[in-house]
Structure 1
Amino acid sequence: MTDGGAVVGGLDLDQLAPAQRRMVEGLMAVGTPRPPFDPERAGRIRAMVESRIAEAVEGRPADAQRIVLGKTKLDALGCDGRYLDMLATPFEWSAPTVRGQLVHGSIELDHQTGRQHTVVDLMDDSWEQFRHSGDSALAFTSDLTDLESERMKADAVTAVEEFRAVFPPLPRSWSMVWEPTIAARFGAGAVTVKGKPDLVLGRPHPHERRMLLADLKTGSRSGKDRADMRIYALLATLKYGQAPFRVATVYIDEGAFEHEDVTGRADAGRATEHGAAADRPARGGPPGGGPGLSLVRAGPHLSGEAALGRRTRRHGRGRPPLLTPAERVSGNCGGRPRIRHASWVRGPRGR
């Protein structure tokens, strides 16, 4: 905690609203000494992950498709039904996902411009940036009526206004990086794990761990929020050669946050967990990587082995169901059916 009247890095704490000051003192831990930097930590983590996937990688064909895993796929690997659903369903924009894009884009621009613009102006810019970010975004927005577009922007404006109310206007001199891509390659490039935290506050330092990684959430809390941040902590450690001192999720609707300080013990646990997760697709070959079937070993939510791979025969006209009724079994994981043996599953599209 800081003393009353303190000015830290150009930020006058007495000029902050209670919720904003809580973020500075509680989340960012301003004035609290940072933990020391362990130069061997990144090497230990990499060795742990490599050891978990070594056997699977050695057995892969030389021309096998390389596996790329993000936090969504890593999370889905804990449940075969969810994973198969994700692979078979192409990504489509929806009102919630577009809202998230608009909110994050406007918050980033708001910081860069020192909160000198109205949120409505920021949102207009973010809307245009999103519309022209790709063919799918342009197609989605083109199908909306004017009222639907304005309603979506108005909803996002509310979220950014609420963010302003609970998150402090940090000086532009503070080191903040928005949505950086952090990635790590394993098994001589056979497996790549990627992540993109919303915000990295602070940069690598020669002697101390000063980085804070945070995600900003405008919806309700999820049980996997903390797991997502742990993935980011592991990837950041490997990319920068040092771990962040803390990872956190900021819940804008509540004006609250949950954080976890990064420790050596936590690093070991994350490396073991994610090494095991990466091991599963590595053993079976890349999902959808070619005709035929490949096996993904049973995980904690699996009731057997799930067969993954591209469908090798037609199944009537139109879009086929993911699984026939005979291929579904009792039990579920996150509301999705477990699978004992599936004769076919369509390969991934769009993710």
Structure 2
Amino acid sequence: MEAKQELNPAQQEVLAELGAPKEQRPRFGAMLRHELQRALEDGLEPMLPMLDLREGEKPGDSMFVSKYALGQVLGCERKFVFEQAEPFEWKVPIARGTIAHKAIELSVHWRRELDPMTLVDEAMARRGEGIDPLADWLQTISETERAELRGTTNDLVLKFLECFPPLKPAWYPSTETSLRVEIHDRFVLSGRCDLSIGVADGDRAGKVLVDLKTGSTSIHHRDDLRFYALLDAIRIGTPPRRLATYYLDQGRFQIEDVTEDLLFSTVARVVDGIERMLMLSSGQRDATTATGPACRWCPVRHDCDDGKRHLADDEDTTLGAGW
């Protein structure tokens, strides 16, 4: 008989943060999903005529809205406009997350020893057998790119296995969970959550949505999960119980419990973001700039006067602090 695996402190913390007794899990009203849907419909209805004014779109085309687009347009609009015009290309930093999620999915039902590199290789093989753009990219990348993808993805999967307890099928784990809500048959809100654990019990919330991150913490990361929580609440009626951004490099959480106020504030954010997108894409106003740490790697930083001034001021402050 296989010995029970002992959990390290990081894994024990994950269990403590994500689990909760049934009596501590909140209940939500049966009409909540309809109220959220109606709030989105009311907020977006005045924008329906603007949909057919978008540059490069045909009359009747739907508008697809993702967490990334919302985050970009509610940040620096000029950067958003630039990136919208750039064609999407698969690259190692983008693909590694998708491959890592597939490897984590395989680990749930893996009957052999959990070796991260083996899981990564199997995940790459599975995704490479598809008929989508990622499969095409995997089939044509150079050996250097393949080696880089294997190495960086292995690092993510290893950190996940170190920090998370083994995901039991009884916990209903799901990776790359697809979520989609359509408003007025024209606005399509969609996304994929990194990891979902648990399920609702009637009107009692039980699901936890997890977003896996690397690098520094940011309060803006919470907005991604709030967007997913809104979509899931409209989809099944009972919202997730908790939202957890997990930083693999640090072994640390950002935790937020889901409330009705949080969901309705997310509706307002979505409506605001979509209005900005439509105003910009229809040429009704020029894009504004917003400076911050992201200016250092912004693709338009060399032609952005606001960004240049911000970086110059930031450099002066840094140098001054060193003396």
Aligned with residue 190 of structure 2, among 191, 194, 208: 194
Relative to structure 1, the CA distance from residue 329 to residue 99 in structure 2 (aligned partners, 3 Å threshold; closer, same or farther) is closer
Matched residues in 1 for 2:287 and 2:27: separation? 36
Matched residues in 2 for 1:109 and 1:26: separation? 24
Question: Deviation per CA, 1:186-226, whole angstroms, max 9, x where unpaired?
Answer: 1x212111111011111232130111111112444344311
Structure 1 counterpart SS, 2:306: strand
Larger mean CA deviation between 54-63 and 38-47 belongs to: 54-63
Aligned with residue 295 of structure 1, among 280, 283, 287: 283
Relative to structure 1, the CA distance from residue 268 to residue 301 in structure 2 (aligned partners, 3 Å threshold; closer, same or farther) is farther
Q: Does residue 40 of structure 2 align to residue 44 of structure 1?
A: no
Relative to structure 1, the CA distance from residue 240 to residue 300 in structure 2 (aligned partners, 3 Å threshold; closer, same or farther) is farther
* Count of aligned pairs: 292
State the TM-score, normalizing by the size of structure 2: 0.79
More helix per residue: 2
Relative to structure 1, the CA distance from residue 329 to residue 157 in structure 2 (aligned partners, 3 Å threshold; closer, same or farther) is closer
Q: Which runs of 5+ in 1 are unaligned?
A: 1-11, 288-293, 303-321, 337-351
Partner in structure 1 of residue 247 of structure 2:
251
- Determine if contact 1:114/1:171 at 8 Å carries over to the other structure: no
Partner in structure 2 of residue 159 of structure 1:
156
Q: Does residue 126 of structure 2 align to residue 125 of structure 1?
A: no
- How much has 1:118 moved relative to structure 2? 2.2
Q: Does residue 179 of structure 2 align to residue 212 of structure 1?
A: no
- How much has 1:242 moved relative to structure 2? 1.7
State the TM-score, normalizing by the size of structure 1: 0.73
Q: Does residue 238 of structure 2 align to residue 242 of structure 1?
A: yes
| Letter paired with 1:89 | E
Matched residues in 2 for 1:301 and 1:52: separation? 25
- Determine if contact 2:30/2:203 at 8 Å carries over to the other structure: no
Partner in structure 2 of residue 56 of structure 1:
47
Matched residues in 2 for 1:70 and 1:273: separation? 13
Partner in structure 2 of residue 24 of structure 1:
15
Question: Deviation per CA, 1:264-314, whole angstroms, max 9, x where unpaired?
Answer: 211121111112222334567xx4xxxxxx235578858xxxxxxxxxxxx
- Determine if contact 1:115/1:169 at 8 Å carries over to the other structure: no
| Letter paired with 1:142 | T
- Determine if contact 1:230/1:247 at 8 Å carries over to the other structure: yes
Matched residues in 2 for 1:162 and 1:183: separation? 30
Relative to structure 1, the CA distance from residue 41 to residue 296 in structure 2 (aligned partners, 3 Å threshold; closer, same or farther) is farther
- Determine if contact 1:180/1:197 at 8 Å carries over to the other structure: yes
Q: Does residue 103 of structure 2 align to residue 103 of structure 1?
A: no
Relative to structure 1, the CA distance from residue 139 to residue 235 in structure 2 (aligned partners, 3 Å threshold; closer, same or farther) is closer
**Percent of paired sites with the same residue:** 25
- How much has 1:156 moved relative to structure 2? 2.0
- Determine if contact 1:60/1:283 at 8 Å carries over to the other structure: no
Q: Which runs of 5+ in 2 are unaligned?
A: 53-57, 291-298, 312-323
Matched residues in 2 for 1:255 and 1:125: separation? 26
- How much has 1:32 moved relative to structure 2? 6.3
Partner in structure 1 of residue 68 of structure 2:
72
Relative to structure 1, the CA distance from residue 118 to residue 136 in structure 2 (aligned partners, 3 Å threshold; closer, same or farther) is closer
Relative to structure 1, the CA distance from residue 23 to residue 139 in structure 2 (aligned partners, 3 Å threshold; closer, same or farther) is closer
- Determine if contact 1:39/1:241 at 8 Å carries over to the other structure: yes
- Determine if contact 1:114/1:172 at 8 Å carries over to the other structure: no
Q: How does 1:166-181 map to 2 (within 5 A)?
A: 166-181=163-178
- Determine if contact 2:178/2:191 at 8 Å carries over to the other structure: yes
